[in-house]
Structure formats: C-alpha cells, structure tokens
Structure 1
Amino acid sequence: MENEKSVVALEPNMDIENEDSDGWDEMEISGEQTTCLFCTSQFLTIAVAMDHCRVEHNFDLLYLKSKYNMDCYSYIKMINYIRKCKPTADSLLQSQTALWSSDDYLKSGDMESWLMYDFDDLGSTPSTPHYAIDGKTPISNITYSDLQRQIQDLTIQLRQKDSMLQNAKDDIDTMKTVTRNIVEAGDSEIVLPSSVGDVPVSLDSEYFNSYSHYGIHHEMLSDTVRTESYRDAILKNVNSFKDKTVLDVGCGTSILSMFAAKAEAKKVIGIDMSEVLFKAMDIIRENKLDDKITLLHGRLENVELPENKVDIIISEWMGYFLLFEGMLDTVIYARDNHLKPGGLILPNRCNINLVACSDLERYNGLINFWDDVYGFNMSCMKSDIISEANIETVPMDNVVSEPSVLTEIDLQTCNTNTPNFSANFKLKITKTSTITSLAGYFDTFFELENPVSFSTGPHCKSTHWKQTVFYLKTPIEVKEGEILEGTLVSFRNVKNVRGLTITIEINGNKYKYSLD
C-alpha cells in the first residue's frame, strides 16, 4: 500500500511561509496502517492502536514496562516475540518472567510501525489517561477545537523547554567563565558558592535526581518516628493551621501537604525539584485534595509562587548529622522571601549532640581488618576508611557517655552560615571502656500549643537518619566518671556545598572526616 498524507489546516490565517511563527500551520497524519498486536484490526496511529489493545485486549503496556523494568531493547524483543509466537495478552501479563528475554527476538522480521515507537517516553507524562503520544487523547477521539487547544498547550510547553534550555546554557557559560577566571587568577583568592542557592541548577541535578527514586520515599515514609512526629505536630495543632496558607518545601510525595490540608489549611503550596513531584500530583488527585493543594515542579529559588507570602512553612529538610545535604539553605530562603511577619516554621528548633561509643568488634571488623587481608598487609587503607564518616545504627549498649550538645539551631533566626560552627564538648563517661568512635545525632522540636519532638539518638527508636559515626585512629581507654574533653569543627565541603567536613580534636589527636 502506498503511503498517503492527509493535511488538516488548523490556522488558515497564519503565514505559512513564516517558519518561526508561534502557531502551527498544519499537522500531518500518516496514512500507514498499524495492525493490532492481538487481532487483525488496523489503525492510523500507534496511539489509537495502543488504546485499542488496552481496552479490547486488556494489554497494559505501561504495567509491563514497570513490572519487568523494560527498556527500548526489551520492547523490541517483546514486539518481535508477539509477532512470531502470537501469545495471548493474558499470558504476557500473567507470566512471572519476560517470555521474550532471548536476544533472538532482537532480530526483527518485517519492519513495522510498532518498532518505530519511542518506548522510553511511555508513561513519562504525569497522569496519562491513554497510551497516546505525549499523553494526549488519540486523534480519532478528539475534535477540531481539542486539537487547537492541545497545540496551544504544546506551544506553551515548547516555550518553557526553550527557556529551561537557555537557563542551562547560561549556567554553563557562567561556569566556563568561573573556570577561566580561576585559571587566569592563578594563586589569587577564589570565591566558591557559600550556599546551595548559589549553585546553578544544571550543576545540582545529581542531588535532585537522587530523590526521583521511589525507594528513598518508601524509606522515609516507613520511618514512623519521622512521619508520625510531623503528623502529630500538624493534626494535634489544627488551630495553628486552620484557614492558613502553608508552603511545603521539598514536598516529595506530598505527605506533609496532605496533613496540612487535613488540618483545615486554606491553601497548601508544595514544591519539589525531583521528578517524584509528578507522582505527588497523582497522589493529590487520588485523595481529592487538588482543590486545596497546588504542587510546583522546580527549585524554590527559581520559581514564582502563586502566593508570594505564606503563614506557615513546613519542611522535612534534615540530613545526616542534621546539616548534610544543605537543604536548610532553601528553608532559610523560603523564610526570608515568602514567610509573613510573625509566620511559623515547622520544625522550629533542632540541635546536634555527640556521644562516645565503644564497640571493639565493629572496630576490628572495619578498621583492623586491613592489617591482614588473606595474608596481605593493606593497612594503608585505614586512614581513608577512618576519614569517611559512617552512617550506622549504634546499639545503646555501646554508648559509654552522656550526650553533649554541640549546637542549637533556631529556624526563625539561623542563616546559611549555620553549617560552619565550632563547639567544645565534654563527655561524662558512664562506663569504664575503650572508646572506638564518637557518634553524632540530632533532636527536632515542634514548639506549638501541643508540642511534639523526636530524637535520632541511639537511646530512641531507630530512624532512617541513624547516627553519624566518627571512628578514631587511636582508641581511648576511659574510666567511669571521667570527663573527656574535645573540640568539633564543622565546615561546608569545599568541592560540594551540600557536603560537610568535620574536624575533631580529642585526647591530643586531630581527626578530619568527610560527609559527602
């Protein structure tokens, strides 16, 4: 069959010679037939064929993509397997393994339109009601006015993408200039970013991408100490939220936004830079809260909010050793630019604590292990192992001192220099033992009419933050009742503004650790 093309004129008054015009003059619809994967029905587009397979044969391609973690090669093999072996849709969906796993199915027979489909884009558009291209309804089901509206929407999206691309190019140009200045300056003083807001978005993508993985959100939501504390702070203080405008910074799956809506907030604005925000939109709609909650995708420092000033800021911004990740900077930006005078920040206070620990078995397994590795001496590895702060759950039985508070943070008054601090500590020894490490943790406070607090210390139920453990190169022998004194200095990591460099002086020795 010869290919034919039908042209639908959408804007007859447009200048068809102006290739740079904002409108689209015409849209071409391929006349090539696409045959269903399971029957002889034919369609003009892949989009309509996919909808047919889903409705008539219950063939959920998006479900298969998720179930088998399929990529474009898996998709090609699956199409060839269907054409060659002619299985039923049910057998494909119900099988516990991918029936098309053999690489033999990468060798196609006759070329067809199914193999030309951009499979990687399937499901990338939030809340796609059909399996149509770009999440749009199949052409056979839409009207002329629908087409005009969709074209207008796509034009707006294109402009937004162009703007984002230009911003990325500007960021790259900025970094090129900085690099050139560094090279030309030689030994002269170099100014590095002092907060995460100074880092170009394009260079901060690794951090945001880490929160696009659903596993991390499962871990955080499963942390009952964390999630129930926020829930109780909000729902046990409804009077503080009733009829208020709330900003949820780094909203993730929007759990805090939904708590706020349940507490009768008038309006909730959630913002997150990671791709999980699009799933959060689905969650909001599924819970019928889209009339109260507005979600925005982007970095707060670069986004215009629908309401510039809010009554309350809520955020779960805390990282390991409280300050790792640097998300506190964004909360401070929100406070300084979007919080009404007298507004509320939750949580509103945190502190960092330090305790001494004794665990010779763990120390020997992690540090002294390198003295004899299958008969070889690898002790040169020790210094690198010790210089890395470890995230571990410390058993309370291994804690051999009372805690010492290193620093207190008031969210109403702190600034972006908060991660840079120095603190003297005194650890009162509670058990005669050998100190092999020091462990840091934080406490969080919601100081409201009905106050709520939680701790990430070893004396409480474990959280996903665990404790930050600093192993000593030289263990220290101590006796019960003794006071062990030292100094801890924290600074932002020079190369990574979200990381920390921790220096500890104790018992005449100085240790440097990275949390990166």
Structure 2
Amino acid sequence: MSDTESDTASSLGDIIEDASEADTTTFKCLFCDEQWSRVPDMLTHCKKEHTFDVEDNIKKLGQDVDELTIIKLVNYLRLESQKSIEPKDIKVDTETLADDKYLQPTLPDDALLFELGDLMPNPDSRVVDYDEYEAALQRNIGEGVEKLTLDNDRDVDYFESYKGNAIHREMIEDRVRTEGYRDFIEKNAELFKGKTVLDVGCGTGILSLFCARAGAKRVLAVDNSDIAKRARENIARNGYEDKIQVIQGRVEDFHTQRMIGKEKVDIIISEWMGYGLLFEGMLDSVLRARDLYLKEDGLMVPSHCTMRIAPISDKAWIEDASGEKFWKDVYGFDFSSMIPGGVLNDREIGVFDVPSKTISGEPCTFYQLDLKNIQIRDLDFTAPFSTKLGSDTASIEAFAIWFDTFFLPNPKTPGAAAVDIAKWGANGEPGLGFSTGPYSTPTHWHQAVLLLSEEDRKKEVKRDGTLKGRVAYKKPKRDDRGIDVTVEWEAEGAQGPVKGSLKRTMA
C-alpha cells in the first residue's frame, strides 16, 4: 500500500542548474541527429542549417512565455520534425501550444528539457516550480489518463508513513497477502518469464524479487517513499540488481516516465489495496500507470477485486468496540457522555477483525473492479445490495465491508464474482486469490465497520427478512486518499418497513 514520491521542495530551476553543471551533457538538435552541449550553438545551427529561427519564434509568442510554453515548443518541434515536415514549414503559434499534450516528452531522456533557461526570452521570467510542471503534465498526459487531486500536506504525510520498517513488516508478515502474491507468481512463472514488469509502490521490493526469481527479464520497481532506498539495498543484497531497477518517484511523474522510457510493459503488479479496499487512493496511481505503460494485451496483477457487505447484530460486541461498556462504569462513575468513545463511533469508519458470529445476514457482493478496464471515475460509485437476515436477527447495529482479491490470468475466466476462492487449489479452477472477510484467515486489512446511529440501532427488523439498500463510495473534496461511505438501507419490520441511513468517513 505504498506508492511513489518526489522532492516537493525542488524546482525545475534547480534541476536545470544541476543538469547544466556537467560539461558532458549533450542533447539532440531539434531537427536532425547532431548532438550539442550548448543551447546557443544549437540555435545558431538551426538558423543556419535548417532555416528555422528558434529565438525569433519564441519572441513572436509574446511576453507571457514561461517555461511550460518552452517545454511544449521543444516537444512540438520534435514531433513535427519526426513527421518529415521541413523546419521552415512548421507553424508555431500560441493556439497550437495551448494543448497540454505537448508537455509529454517526445524523446526519452531529452536533456534539452533541462536547459530551458537558455531558451527563455527574458532572463527575469518567472521560473516554474517543478511541482507545477508535474501538475501541468498531468492535465493531459495522455488520452484517458485521469488526474489526481490531493492536498499537498496530506500527500506528504501519506508517503512519510511508508518510509519506516514497522508498516512494511506488518504487511510482509501478513501471510495471506504476501503468499497470495508469491503463489500466483510462482505457479504462473510462464507468464513472467522473459517479461518486463512494473511494480507500482514496490515498498521493500518483495514483489519485484518474486517476479525476478520467476524469470522476469526486467522489473521496474517504483516507490515514492524513502523506503525505495532500502528496496535498492535489498535487491542488491540478493543479487538481482541486474534485473530490477528501483526508481524513487511518483509513477506518473515526468522523472519516472523518463526513467521507464517509451517501451510498454507486459505486466503491472501492485499491492495497492487499503482499508475498505479504496482507502488511501493508491489504486488511482495504479490505473494511471496502466494507461501510461501497460501493453494492450498486458496483465494486471491482481486482476479483479470484489467488495462485500454484511450486517452486524451483536449488542455485546458493539458495546465493547464502541467503548459503551467501558464508559458506563469508570471506577463507579457514569461516563456515558463519552459514548461512543472508541474506534467504533458514529462519525468514522472503524477497522476491526469482526467475529464471524456477529454477522447476521448473508454477505453480498455489491461492487466488482476489473483492473484492466475500470477507470478512476468509477471509484466514486453507488451500488445496490440485498441480503437475507438470520433467524435470530431482531435489529441491525452496524455494517461490515471487506474485499476479495483475485489473480485471474486468463481473460476467458468467468467474472471474479462467480469464482469461489475456497475451491481454488481443490478442484483445479484457474487463478488464485484471497479474502479479507470475517470468515477467512485474518489479514492486516481487517474489515471496515460502519456503526448505525443510536436511533437506527433500536429499530426492530423481521427475522429471516430481507435487507436491501445502497452503498456509495465517494472521495472527499480535494482528498483522493480518504473515503466517505454512505449506506442507505431498508428492511422488513414487524409493523411494516423500517429504514435508515448513515455516512461515515475514513481519513
């Protein structure tokens, strides 16, 4: 559940200065294969040999030319040249360069893009911050690649939380998780042999190492946290540095794109799942990586996830989880005003290993994610659910939400919702997977629990009746890491239908 990081304090100006210090830095002419180490020399060459006055064309763009415009101009001129258009016939105007598609580098590792200071018409022109460049690049980095919306402080905190050892030990020690990935890779080694794999949010590098050991030709391990430094050490210590390249940065960033290059990858692997499946919003980055780097016939690992919901009816467990039992008697004093005063409350989504005996209805799959085809916009959704209540269920106290993860390498395999994970390995069904539900081996994801209001918990429902409703997932405004979950429900009651609704946040 990690991703990629860039130095938010750096600026494009700093990078330009660093790149310019080395005398050996060379870049290709805008119109031919000749290499240059100084921008003025290249400009003279373009004017004399190609009859194209770069400086004059920049001046004609007006006084508001900034470095983003120059970046677009360089990429645009290279694209036009690749079309075999004569330089003197290339038209340069502000309308053409308004298209953000020209922020995408035409050449991989184009060193000229790091020499922009020498192309600026006014030496006092505002220098574009590197983060602003990255943001502009994301506006139209490629058709179908969607944007990320985040508060900068929130994002920094997210990546900061993944640089330490403890969180990675917790994930690796989760045998359901780690061995689920390992078993899929090892039992399907033929899928990885000789292939190029992109590991999004590589963390300590464990999944990359599994892929390399299975025969992958090249593994690109990307992580934005400082844990990438440890991953690099782990990979070298185990003798796989010739196959695995660790890249520290966001998977969508310009720097990372330059390191990965233009060649598409065969497989994208990532352990992106968060609490309630979508908390932390890492899937957004995985889907953008898919749109940027994955071959059309490439494989997503995992391939599918299903989201499940079930009602909880167990007053004793609710009293303990919400703190009600504790606060009602504090050394003989009544502290009921503190209720709910535990991890389970009426504002936030709690995370628990829910005892299976508390589940009072048949679990229902309410949403399926096909990782090869789903879009970021589809991660905000409203979906129906329906379940039959148990014979001893008289009221509903909460809802539990969990997910099942699937590795289905064969596109002809039935949808994930139709596959019974419990049967895999017993009857030869294709694929592997694991569940994070209350009926399976506990995982570090636990289950997300949403407590009903005190009023709704008092409503009587019909035993053996039907409970139906809708679940809505929505990202809070300007925070793609968090989740707002709304559940609206209706059940049969002794005196007619009873209904309720709740909205809880995980931030």
Which category of TM-score, normalised to the shorter sequence, fits these structures? 0.5 to 0.7
Secondary structure of the equivalent of 1:501? strand
State the partner residue of 1:512: 503
Instruction: Give 3-state SS (helix, strand or coil) of 1:435's partner.
Output: coil
Moved more, 296-305 or 244-253: 296-305
**CA distance 1:478–1:203, shift in 2 (3 Å):** closer
Counterpart check, 1:257 vs 2:198: no
Match of 2:161 among 197, 210, 213: 210
1:378 to 337, 344, 347: 337
Task: Give the match for residue 82 of structure 1.
Answer: none
Report the residue type matching 2:177 in the other structure: R
Structure 1 pair 200/464, CA: closer, same or farther in 2 (3 Å)? same
AA at the equivalent of 1:401: G
Alignment partner of 1:481 out of 460, 464, 467: 464
How far residue 237 of structure 1 moved from its aligned partner, in angstroms, is: 0.5
Q: Which residue of 1 aligns with 2:483?
A: 500
Residue 412 in 1 paired to residue 372 in 2? Answer: yes
1:126-181 per-position Cα deviation (integer Å, ceiling 9, x unaligned): xxxxxxxxxxxxxxxxxxxxxxxxxxxxxx9xx99xxxxx8767549999xxxxxx
- Give me the whole-angstrom Cα distance separating, in 2, the residues matched to 1:261 and 1:504: 43
Residues 36-61 of structure 1: CA distance to partner in whole angstroms, max 9, x if unpaired?
A: xxxxxxxxxxxxxxxxxxxxxxxxxx
1:467 to 406, 422, 447: 447
Q: Which amino acid aligns with 2:337?
A: M
Q: Could you say if the C-alpha distance between residues 307 and 242 of structure 1 is closer, same or farther in structure 2, counting changes exceeding 3 Å? A: farther
1:342 aligns with 2:297: yes
Judged with a 3 Å threshold, the aligned counterparts in structure 2 of structure 1 residues 174 and 328 are, in CA distance, closer, same or farther, namely closer
Aligned-partner Cα distance in 1 for 2:261–2:203: 20
Matching residue within 296, 316, 321 for 2:247: 296
Q: Give me the whole-angstrom Cα distance separating, in 2, the residues matched to 1:463 and 1:380.
A: 28
Cα distance in 2 for residues equivalent to 1:422 and 1:203: 26
For residue 424 of structure 1, report the CA deviation from its aligned partner: 1.6
Partner of 2:357: 397
Pairs within 5 Å for 1:27-426 = 171=132, 197-199=148-150, 204-302=155-253, 303-304=256-257, 305-308=259-262, 309-365=264-320, 366=322, 368-369=324-325, 374-378=333-337, 385-426=345-386
Distance in 2 (CA, whole Å) between partners of 1:288 and 1:294 is: 12
Identity across matched positions, percent: 38
Secondary structure of residue in 2 paired with 1:204: helix
Kept in 2, the 8 Å contact 1:229–1:454? The answer is yes
Say if 1:196 and 1:394 are closer, same or farther in 2 by CA, change over 3 A. Answer: farther
1:195-219 deviation line (CA, Å, top 9, x unaligned): 7734476762111111112111000
CA contact (8 A) 1:401 1:431 kept: no
**Whole-Å separation in 2 of the counterparts to 1:481 and 1:279:** 54
Letter in 1 for 2:488: E
Render the CA deviation track for 1:376-429: whole Å, top value 9, x for unaligned: 451676799212110000111111111111111111111111221111211211
SS at structure 2 position matched to 1:247:
strand
CA distance in structure 2 between the partners assigned to 1:502 and 1:263 by the alignment = 39
Instruction: Check the 8 A contact 1:168/1:201 in 2, yes or no.
Output: no
Query: TM-score, length-normalised on structure 1?
Result: 0.61
User: Conserved in 2, the CA contact under 8 Å of 1:196 and 1:497?
Assistant: no
Q: Which moved more, 1:494-503 or 1:336-345?
A: 494-503
**Residue 301 of structure 2 contacts residue 407 of structure 2 at CA under 8 Å; is this kept in 1?**
yes
Specify the alignment match of 1:45 in structure 2. Answer: none
**Measured at CA, do residues 283 and 382 of structure 1 come closer, stay the same or move farther in structure 2, by a change above 3 Å?**
closer
Name the CA distance, whole Å, in 2 between partners of 1:343 and 1:274.
Answer: 26
Residues 23 and 324 of structure 1: CA distance in aligned 2, closer, same or farther (over 3 Å):
closer
- Whether contact under 8 Å (1:196, 1:498) holds in the other structure is no
Specify the SS of the correspondent of 1:375: coil
C-alpha RMSD of the superposition: 3.1
Could you tell which deviates more after superposition, 269-278 or 394-403? 394-403
Closer, same or farther in 2 for the Cα pair 1:394/1:21, shift >3 Å? closer
1:372 Cα deviation after fit: 6.8
The offset of 1:375, in angstroms, is: 2.8
- Matched-pair contact (CA < 8 Å) for 1:350–1:445: yes
Residues 1:445 and 2:444 aligned together: no
Q: Give structure 1 stretches of 5+ with no counterpart.
A: 1-19, 25-155, 161-165, 176-193
Contact 2:312 2:399 in 1 (8 A): yes
| Partner residue, 2:418 | none
Q: C-alpha deviations, 1:241-262, integer Å up to 9, x for none?
A: 1111000000001111011101
**C-alpha distance after superposition, 1:331-364 (max 9, x if no partner):** 1111111011111111111110001112212322
Kept in 2, the 8 Å contact 1:195–1:497? The answer is no
- 3-state SS in 2 of match to 1:220: helix
Aligned with 2:228: secondary structure?
helix
- TM-score, scaled relative to structure 2: 0.62
CA contact (8 A) 1:353 1:404 kept: yes
Q: Using the TM superposition, give the Cα deviation of residue 479 of structure 1 relative to its aligned residue in structure 2, in angstroms.
A: 4.8
Distance in structure 2 (CA, Å) of the matches to 1:479 and 1:315: 43
Distance (Å, rounded) in 2 between the aligned partners of 1:172 and 1:271: 20
Distance 2:134 2:235 in 1: 38
Query: SS at the partner of 2:334?
Result: coil
What is the rounded CA distance, in whole Å, between the counterparts of 1:286 and 1:170 in structure 2?
34
What is aligned with 1:140? none
| Aligned residue identity for 2:155 | D
**8 Å contact 1:432–1:478 — kept in the other structure?**
no
Q: Structure 1 residues 241, 483: closer, same or farther in 2, change over 3 A? A: same
